[in-house]
Amino acid sequence: MASNKMEYVRLGNSGLKVSKICVGCMSYGSKKWQDWVLEEKEAIDMIKKCYDAGLNFFDTANKLQNYNEVILGKAIKQHNIPRENIVVATKAFGKGMNQPEPLETKHYFVNQKGLSRKNLFEAVDASLERLGLDYIDLYQIHRFDPETPVEETMEALHDIVKSGKVRYIGASSMWAWQFAKMNFVAEKNGWTKFISMQNHYSLMYREEEREMNAYCLDTGIGLIPWGPLAGGKLMGKNRETARAKTQAQVYPNFTEADEAIIDRAAELGKKKGVPASQIALAWILSKPAVSAPNVGIGKEQYLENAIASLSVELSEEDIKYLEEPYVPKNILGHQ
Q: pLDDT: is 91 or 245 the higher one?
A: 91
Residue 239 has pLDDT above 60, yes or no: no
CA distance 305 to 278: 6
Compute the average pLDDT of residues 187-216. 98
- The answer as to whether 150 is a domain residue is yes
| Within-domain flag for 129 | yes
Q: What's the CA gap between 237 and 167, in Å, rounded?
A: 41
pLDDT tens digits, 126-148? 999 999 999 999 999 999 999 99
Say which residue, 96 or 10, is predicted with more confidence.
Answer: 10
pLDDT in tens, 248-295: 555 667 899 999 999 999 999 999 999 999 999 999 999 999 999 999
For 82-93, give one letter per residue: b (16+ CB within 10 A) or e: eeeebbbbbbbb
Domain with 177 in it: what CATH number? 3.20.20.100
pLDDT at 334: 86
- Kindly state whether residue 221 falls inside one of the protein's structural domains: yes
Q: Is residue 271 part of a domain?
A: no
pLDDT mean over 177-188: 99
* Helix, strand, coil % in the chain, rounded to nearest 5: 45, 15, 45
pLDDT at 246: 57
**How high does pLDDT run on average in the chain?**
93
Angle subtended at Cα 109 by Cα 103 and Cα 114, rounded to the nearest 5 degrees: 110
222 SS3 class: strand
pLDDT(59) > 60: yes
Confidence of residue 235 (pLDDT cuts 50, 70, 90): very high
Q: Give whole-number Cα distances, 167 to 159, 164, 193, in Å.
A: 11, 7, 11
Are 224 and 294 in contact by the 8 Å Cβ rule? The answer is: yes
Q: Is residue 261 part of a domain?
A: no
For residue 302, pLDDT beyond 90 = yes
How much of the chain, in percent, has pLDDT values that exceed 90?
83
Q: What is the pLDDT of residue 124?
A: 98
Q: How far from 102 is each of 62, 84, 105, 145, 162, CA to CA, in Å?
A: 17, 38, 7, 21, 35
DSSP H or E stretch at residue 269 = helix 256-272
pTM: 0.93
Q: What is the mean pLDDT of residues 210-237?
A: 96
Residue 61 counted as domain residue: yes
Residue 86 near residue 58, CB atoms below 8 Å:
yes
Residue 74 lies in a domain: yes
pLDDT of residue 4: 73
Q: Whole domain around residue 66: which residue ranges?
A: 8-252+290-312
Average pLDDT value for residue range 150-173: 99
Q: What is the mean pLDDT of residues 93-113?
A: 67
pLDDT at 309 over 90: yes
Residue 32 has pLDDT above 80, yes or no: yes
Per-residue pLDDT, 28:
95
Q: What pLDDT sits at residue 271?
A: 98
Distance in angstroms (rounded) separating the CA atoms of residues 170 and 194: 5
Single-letter amino acid, residue 81: I
Whole-number CA gyration radius for the chain = 19
Please give the tally of structural domains in the chain: 1
In a domain, 281, yes or no: no
111 falls in which pLDDT band (50, 70, 90)? confident
